[in-house]
Amino acid sequence: MSYDDESNPREELYQNFLKSLKEPATERFFDEDELVEIFDYAGDIADDYARAEVLFCGARLYPESAPLKERRALLYFDLEDAEKELKDGSAAAYIADNADHTSLLFDIVRLEANRPADAPAALSFLMEQYPSFSDEETIRFIDLAFDLDCYDWVKAHMPELRKKASFLPALLFEVLQEADQQGDDETVALLAEELIEAEPFSIAYWATLFRAQARLGKEEEARQTFDTAKALGADNPSALLNLADTIYSSAPYLQKDAIEMMASLKEENPDDFTFTDCRCALLVQNGDPATAVAELRRYMAAHPGEIRPLKQLLLCNIVDAEEICDRFIQANDGHEMSAADLDETINALLMRSAMNSLAGLLKSLKKRRALNSVEFASYAEALFALGKYEETVELISDDSLFDEITQIPFRGASHVYICVTAYMKTGHEEQAKAILEKVTPFFEAYLSGAPLPVRMASRTIFTLADKVRRHPASEKLYWEYFDMLGHSKFT
């Protein structure tokens, strides 16, 4: 049996069960042990439909089966609504209705549904009650311990757990995964090496060992492990991506190897952006952003309607973003990116100060529809940051959204600052004064009860108003260089 996400002897049994679901129920027959195996395997691959059908079949063929009753408890627990208290859920109800039924799996679900006050003591007591743990029992017991935040308890009791586990790799794999999440790389390395001794050709174990060694700073060992893992995963693109991810985060000394590796995968999978994306990230990290942008452009030219490469290309702050976005919309039959993608992209571009891309994106949208208040304010901010003050004034001359934007904390003050300053820089003093006269009472009201950051933003408007009073628009040299917040320094 393997724990490396490769072939599994239960797969054929599972597939036969799925085929049987197309036949009449009366013609469907599996023995009790087979149903348990199918249920456990379906749980490994997160197929709740198959698990439920196993229990329905078992209820007809073996209504008093204890192992299948245990798995009903497991299914109820696994399907529990995360927003509900487990003690009030379906698993707890099922356990209460079967209060006389005692087994390790039932006891595990009891503790999951009713968390003990002294978790380590409860785990020790439970472990002592049962001489051995099956594969599924081992997995569930270790999961229980981690759910109870008892990682250190598990490490301390590994000698006893090893003796009880009927299939040791199941125990080692569960602890390995948690150790990896905990960042306990010494333990990860030790367990990965032990699992490799049992399964020397498992790419998953070698990749995990590589990650642990890289994070521990063991460069020479990591290089050797990488070479082995790369060879074992030659026909496994997802495994090679995993190796590249480790290199990106923890092993920069292998960047060139990863870049070459991704180049081969990219050529073999020209229509899968994942490999181009990974290679471009590595290129940027290796100090070659120009090549990364060129590769993104080539992919985008061949796949103009894909959202992921569009987002990545926009983050590169490209000057032809409007054209790229136009082609994206055209390739999608006139449909722009979804509202969620658009909000995420605008926020990301603002955070990265990618104002060329932001201006191009919103200009492309504005040609097709009216912008909402957030889009409008973001467009004004991008134009202003790029020093395009005449275009900023042309945009904000449509003040239909001004009042709505002003009501938004922080963004409102920012928009007022942009509008007033853009008007002053372009000689439109009266418009600037009119805005300040309109908004001053609103921001004065903020000073009495708003949070400190909002009050500070409001104070900026009062400082700006003072500048307008002291320096008329005719002082062109002053307003040419005035930029109190460094707002237009992103080019």
In angstroms, the CA 213 to CA 426 distance is 59
In angstroms, the CA 211 to CA 220 distance is 13
Q: Are 373 and 415 in contact (CB under 8 A)?
A: no
pLDDT grade, residue 7 (50/70/90)? low
DSSP secondary structure string for all residues of 85-122: -GGGSHHHHHHHHTTT---HHHHHHHHHHS--SSHHHH
Is the pLDDT at 6 greater than 60? The verdict is: no
Encode 244-270: b = buried (16+ Cβ within 10 Å), e = exposed.
Answer: bbbbbebbeebbebbbebbbebbeeee
pLDDT digits (tens, 9 = 90+) for 291-312: 999 999 999 999 999 999 999 9
Altogether, the residues listed in the chain come to a count of 491
165: β partners: 133
Is the pLDDT at 216 greater than 50? The verdict is: yes
pLDDT computed for residue 483 by the predictor? 84
pLDDT grade, residue 489 (50/70/90)? low
pLDDT digits (tens, 9 = 90+) for 278-295: 999 999 999 999 999 999
Write down the domain spans for the chain: 393-491
Q: Are 185 and 215 in contact (CB under 8 A)?
A: yes
In angstroms, the CA 42 to CA 11 distance is 9
DSSP, res 246: H
What average pLDDT does range 309-332 have in this prediction? 96
Neighbours of 109 (CB within 10 A): 25
**Containing H/E element for 375?**
helix 373-385
In angstroms, the CA 405 to CA 92 distance is 50
pLDDT digits (tens, 9 = 90+) for 73-87: 999 998 885 445 566
What average pLDDT does range 396-403 have in this prediction? 91
In angstroms, the CA 469 to CA 103 distance is 82
pLDDT grade, residue 227 (50/70/90)? very high
pLDDT computed for residue 350 by the predictor? 95
Chain center to CA of 34 = 37
Helix, coil or strand: residue 313: helix
Mean pLDDT, the chain, rounded, equals: 92
What average pLDDT does range 334-358 have in this prediction? 95
pLDDT computed for residue 210 by the predictor? 98
pLDDT digits (tens, 9 = 90+) for 22-67: 999 888 889 999 999 999 999 999 999 999 999 999 999 999 999 9
pLDDT grade, residue 491 (50/70/90)? very low
Nearest of 360, 275, 345 to residue 315 by alpha carbon: 345
In angstroms, the CA 427 to CA 346 distance is 30
Helix, strand, coil: what percent of the chain each, to 5? 75, 0, 25
In angstroms, the CA 313 to CA 295 distance is 10
Q: Are 81 and 48 in contact (CB under 8 A)?
A: no
The lowest-confidence range among 1-5, 84-88, 254-258 is 1-5
pLDDT digits (tens, 9 = 90+) for 128-163: 999 999 999 999 999 999 999 999 999 999 999 999
pLDDT computed for residue 10 by the predictor? 84
What average pLDDT does range 159-183 have in this prediction? 96
Is the pLDDT at 404 greater than 60? The verdict is: yes
